[in-house]
Amino acid sequence: MITVLRIGHRMPRDKRITTHVSLVARAFGADNILIDTNDKKIETTINSTCTRFGGDFKIQTGINSKKIIKNWDGTIVHLTMYGQQTDKAIEKIDRKKNLLIIVGAEKVPPWIYEQADFNISIGNQPHSEVAALAIFLDRYTKGSWLEKKYDGKIQIQPCDKGKKVISKK
Amino acid sequence: MITVLRIGHRMPRDKRITTHVSLVARAFGADNILIDTNDKKIETTINSTCTRFGGDFKIQTGINSKKIIKNWDGTIVHLTMYGQQTDKAIEKIDRKKNLLIIVGAEKVPPWIYEQADFNISIGNQPHSEVAALAIFLDRYTKGSWLEKKYDGKIQIQPCDKGKKVISKK
């Protein structure tokens, strides 16, 4: 079970970035996303994607992130540009345990660094939490997200030019 | 030489996503980014990152994307969820040639699919152009972006807890 926890989500500033974080969580193999701020719009957007494209991905907003972190039964990873290097750190994570991946928006309070079992950087240059989550999940799942089959009403078939979309009723 | 071309950038809607696309281009080994819409603010943001963190990354906005694409001397890749699968497609790209990577915001006009040598999908599920660019560059550079050394005033050292930042004057 892989859960993504998005903290520091502010409306309207983070609307699109948090939507991208959620879609990446779904597409790259996480089971669900928890977002600290209450935001029904983002729930609707992501649930609509799940209905159309399939899968069991879940979203919940307005959660108490402190409670989630303190009571987490499993491993906690915090993605940060200040952390230890990805490839070395990933090897140490026990894959039999549940995984919570914390993805912050802007400044993250110091206690998160303390509570996390692993503070992991995707390179030590500034870039994007969307990219960091994608690369982390790609490495952690060893690329298996690419093989996942979805049962959605809309199926996209890879093609060289244009678009090949199969829509089921 | 790797160039990223961001098309369909609209202000203020895409401000943060395009900033993330630009930072990912820089951190994951591209040499420069071209953005179709004129946007001095994003130029300032990215140039400030380059000054502080180092490297030779360049940004230019307000460019004529049609002209760039039509006159491109090298390979053109268009990242799209409708394209052929990454890992198969990447093998076919001639690494001796200059590479132009087109990253669209929302709908991309059909002629882009025609002009591109490769329409490449990072999975066929909806997610994020930020993630797509990061995964593509990670695969294309075979992870070498992680080894790149920067000469910036600010250097971040990987660490287990907290932050280790070295600032040169």
* Cβ-proximal residues to A121 (8 Å cutoff; 6+ apart), any chain: A79, A80, A81, A82, A83, A84, A85, A86, B156, B158
pLDDT mean over B36-57 = 97
Asked if residue B21 lies in contact with residue B103, where contact means CB atoms within 8 angstroms, the answer is: yes
Listed by number, the residues of chain A in 97-116 with a beta carbon closer than 8 Å to a beta carbon of chain B are: 110, 113-114
Cα within 13 Å of Cα(A123), Cβ side: 27
Pairing type for strands A32-35 and A2-7 reads: parallel
Residue A106 has pLDDT above 80, yes or no: no
CB contact under 8 A, A131 and B163: no
Q: How far apart are CA B145 and CA A143, in angstroms?
A: 18
Is the CB of A53 inside 8 Å of chain B's CB atoms? yes
Q: ipTM of the assembly?
A: 0.97
Residue B168 has pLDDT above 90, yes or no: no
CB contact under 8 A, B135 and A133: no
The whole-number pLDDT of residue A168 equals 84
Calculate how close chain B gets to A64, using CA atoms only, in Å: 23
Residue of B nearest to A12 (CA): B13
Calculate how close chain A gets to B107, using CA atoms only, in Å: 12
CB contact under 8 A, A82 and B159: yes
Is the CB of A138 inside 8 Å of chain B's CB atoms? yes
Identify the band that residue B54 occupies on the pLDDT scale cut at 50, 70 and 90.
very high
Q: Which of A33, A39, A50 is nearest to A9 (CA)?
A: A39
* A26 interaction partners in chain B (CB closer than 8 Å): 125, 127
C-alpha distances out from residue A36 to A45, A105, B2, B103, B159, Å: 17, 11, 38, 30, 26
Residue A12 has pLDDT above 90, yes or no: no
CB contact under 8 A, A146 and B123: yes
Q: What percent of chain A has pLDDT over 90?
A: 94
The whole-number pLDDT of residue A121 equals 97
Identify the band that residue B74 occupies on the pLDDT scale cut at 50, 70 and 90.
very high
Residue B106 has pLDDT above 80, yes or no: no
Chain A to chain B Cβ contacts (< 8 Å): 151
The whole-number pLDDT of residue A134 equals 98
pLDDT mean over B142-157 = 94
The whole-number pLDDT of residue A44 equals 98
Q: What is the pTM of this model?
A: 0.97
Best mutation target, B56, B88, B125, to test chain A (most A CBs within 10 A): B125
The whole-number pLDDT of residue A90 equals 95
**Residue range of the domain that includes A149:** 2-167
CB contact under 8 A, A83 and B145: no
Number of structural domains in chain A: 1
Identify the band that residue B78 occupies on the pLDDT scale cut at 50, 70 and 90.
very high
Residue A169 has pLDDT above 80, yes or no: no
The domain that holds B52 is classified in CATH as: 3.40.1280.10
Cα within 13 Å of Cα(A11), Cβ side: 11
Residue A107 has pLDDT above 90, yes or no: no
The mean pLDDT of chain B is: 95
Lowest-confidence segment of A38-42, B3-7, B134-138, B165-169 by average pLDDT? B165-169
Question: How confident is the model over A66-99, as pLDDT tens digits?
Answer: 999 999 999 999 999 999 999 989 999 999 999 9
Apex A23 CA angle, A18 and A27, nearest 5: 150
Question: How confident is the model over A136-165, as pLDDT tens digits?
Answer: 999 999 999 999 999 999 999 999 999 999
How big is chain B by its Cα radius of gyration, in Å? Answer: 16
The whole-number pLDDT of residue B12 equals 86
CB contact under 8 A, B159 and A125: no
Nearest CB to B126: which of A49, A130, A155?
Answer: A49
Question: How confident is the model over B125-147, as pLDDT tens digits?
Answer: 999 999 999 999 999 999 999 99
Report the first-to-last Cα separation within chain A, whole angstroms.
Answer: 31
Residue B169 has pLDDT above 90, yes or no: no
Asked if residue B43 lies in contact with residue B13, where contact means CB atoms within 8 angstroms, the answer is: no
Region of residue A8 (phi > 0: left; psi between -120 and 50: alpha; otherwise: beta): left
The mean pLDDT of chain A is: 95
Identify the band that residue B110 occupies on the pLDDT scale cut at 50, 70 and 90.
very high
Q: Which of B29, B31, B37, B2 is nearest to B17 (CA)?
A: B37
CB contact under 8 A, B125 and A27: yes
CB contact under 8 A, B158 and A27: no
* B119 interaction partners in chain A (CB closer than 8 Å): 159-161
Residue A13 has pLDDT above 90, yes or no: no
Nearest CB to A113: which of B119, B157, B161?
Answer: B161
Q: How far apart are CA A109 and CA A117, in angstroms?
A: 15
Nearest CB to A27: which of B20, B114, B123?
Answer: B123
Q: What percent of chain A has pLDDT over 70?
A: 100
pLDDT mean over B95-117 = 95
